[in-house]
Amino acid sequence: MRPESTSYTVVSGSSPGPIAPALAEHFDRVGFTVRTVAGTGHFVHLDDHEGFVAALDGWV
């Protein structure tokens, strides 16, 4: 069961990205939200700053 007062987000570059599907599923099970920004690489915030900020919507 996830704690309701804590929220964690992992933002990943586009698929295939640095976060394998099995690892994304693990993060989800332990309380993280995994979001992918299409068309980006390792530096998501530099490759698509607007997409990066949009991926954080509802978290920040």
Amino acid letter, 57 = D
The pLDDT value recorded for residue 6 is 57
The pLDDT value recorded for residue 9 is 67
pTM above 0.85, yes or no: no
pLDDT tens per residue, range 1-60:
555 545 666 777 665 666 788 888 898 898 888 888 888 888 888 999 999 899 888 776
The pLDDT value recorded for residue 31 is 85
Which letter, b or e, does each residue of 26-46 get, where b requires 16 or more Cβ atoms within 10 Å of its Cβ? Answer: ebeeeeeebbbbeebeeebee
